[in-house]
Amino acid sequence: MELDKLVVEKIKFGEELINSINNFGDLEGLTKLQRKINQELKFLKKILKNKSFKKEHLQCSNLTHFSSLLEVLGRTNNNLYVNKVFMLGERKLTIDIVCDNGLKWIKVVARNPKSLSQISMGDTGYGVRSILDQAREFAECSKLYPCLFQTPTVSFVFVNGVGSNLAVKIESFGIQVQGERLEDPFLDVEDDIDENSYEEYKGVDCSTLSTDNASTLSKVNLDVSAMLAYCSSVTNGSAGKYKFDVPVLSQQAEWELLRPQKPILDDFFKGKKLYCCETAKRNFVNIVNTVGGPNERLRAEKLLTMVIVLPDDASSEDSESFDVQYSTDKVLNVGGKIRERSLTIFTFGDRIQAVTVTANEGFVRAARQQGINFVVFLHESRALTEQKELAKGKVV
């Protein structure tokens, strides 16, 4: 459909929202909501008249959120306010719906579930607040405004669904989560916790992919996958204790019972200095904060106290040398298993002349196919499992 017709439809949609507001009487905050919808309509009518509309104007319209808010409002009881503002320190916090005579606060979320999860993992611009940031604030703010001597219940309603891992994390703040729970393939971090990559490990001897004599080097560069495996609940005693609904996790738990990875990593780390680059640390922390359980977060904090974090472009003045190193003369083509983040981490290890410890077998193979052999120590992949043990796991 032509863009101008889509703008016309969006305007009609907004006008229908204005009419639907009348169904809710004189509820406090509805007049303010009506003004916001009218502002959206005024803007849409202006760009339609001037023929200055762009696709982004429709994608960024708040009318979808307002529609979802009214839809949820129609399902709630004993409503008191819409768009009620509370103060949390110097920050204003807007509660979409206050209902149950003040005992319940509702936030309506109409965003794409994939975007929500990606932003929560830090895949966004600086200063953009994630749904987890908002969850913390809502939980904190509700305690400051008791109703009938009770802390209001906070509920996040995801009209388009929410990733199951993200839902569990939000619930950890004491917040109710409503909406369809979706599996999180988009939360899986590249090859570190990619379901397809798990299958690649079946029958693969990691030692055949590891660089010969890599254990003689004194410096270790930790890939995100290595840090995740080191802190995972399944590598720290939970393997065999839970039966998972997720086949990938069940498979990994079985492999862990056969081939425990933590002792392998501990043995390899012995007597060596541990390093990681800023990109690896940032991604690791984001993943742990999003999908990690409480004990996995504690292990992550402890691990980072043992690791020297350097800038991505750090280099080494050591005299150690390798037969094959990444250089500007050998350029990897990004695509497929070669991803920017992994390339940054592996080349960092090369520059500081450290062996990169990783489960990212896909990257290592793809690099070799392009004629570049990084100095690596391969181990089997292990995902963070503690949240899923709480949410989906069944004690065996």
- Indicate if 14 and 40 belong to the same structural domain: yes
Domain boundary, last residue among 26, 43, 75: 75
Statement to judge: residues 249 and 303 lie in one domain: yes
Nearest CA to 98 out of 166, 147, 41, 163 is that of: 147
* pLDDT at residue 83, as a whole number: 94
Q: Are 237 and 308 part of one and the same domain?
A: yes
Nearest to 322 by CA among 363, 344, 352: 352
Two tokens at 319? 């005299």
- 230 & 353 share domain: yes
Give me the mean pLDDT over the 311-335 stretch. 63
Contacts of 109 (CB under 8 A, 6+ apart): 116, 131, 156, 157, 158, 159, 160, 162, 179
pLDDT score at 186 = 46
Q: Please, which pLDDT band fits residue 76 given cuts at 50, 70 and 90?
A: very high
- Tell me what pLDDT residue 92 has: 92
Is the confidence at residue 127, as pLDDT, over 80? no
Is the domain of 2 the same as that of 18?
yes
Report d(CA 352, CA 330) in Å as an integer.
17
Confidence of residue 190 (pLDDT cuts 50, 70, 90): very low
Structure-token pair, residue 217: 């080097």
- Phi then psi for residue 97, to 5 deg, are -140, 130
Q: Which residues contact 314 (CB under 8 A, 6 or more apart)?
A: 277, 348, 351, 352
Give pLDDT, residue 192.
Answer: 39
149 and 294 inside one domain: no
Query: For residues 376 and 392, which has the higher predicted lDDT (pLDDT)?
Result: 376
Contact 154, 175 (CB under 8 A): yes
Compute the distance between CA of residue 29 and CA of residue 323 in angstroms, rounded to an integer: 69
Q: Please report, rounded to a whole number, the percentage of residues in the chain having pLDDT higher than 70.
A: 83
Domain boundary among 187, 204, 231: 187
Domain's final residue, options 142, 163, 187: 187
Residues 58-70 have a mean pLDDT of 81
Domain that holds residue 232: 195-395
Tell me: do 103 and 230 sit in the same domain.
no
Q: What is the tens place of the pLDDT at every residue in 196-205?
A: 333 334 444 5
The CATH number of whichever domain residue 128 belongs to comes to: 3.40.1350
**The tokens of 65 are what?**
């959120």
Given a cut of 60, whether residue 5 has pLDDT beyond it is yes
Looking at 33-37, 161-165, 244-248, 259-263, which range is the least confident one?
Answer: 244-248
Which tokens sit at 90? 């110097």
Count of structural domains within the chain? 3
Q: Is the dihedral of CA 122, 127, 128, 134 positive or negative?
A: positive
Q: Residue written as tokens 């200055």?
A: 52
Helix 30-50 crosses helix 63-73 at what angle (to 10 degrees)?
Answer: 150
Q: Are 108 and 121 in contact (CB under 8 A)?
A: no
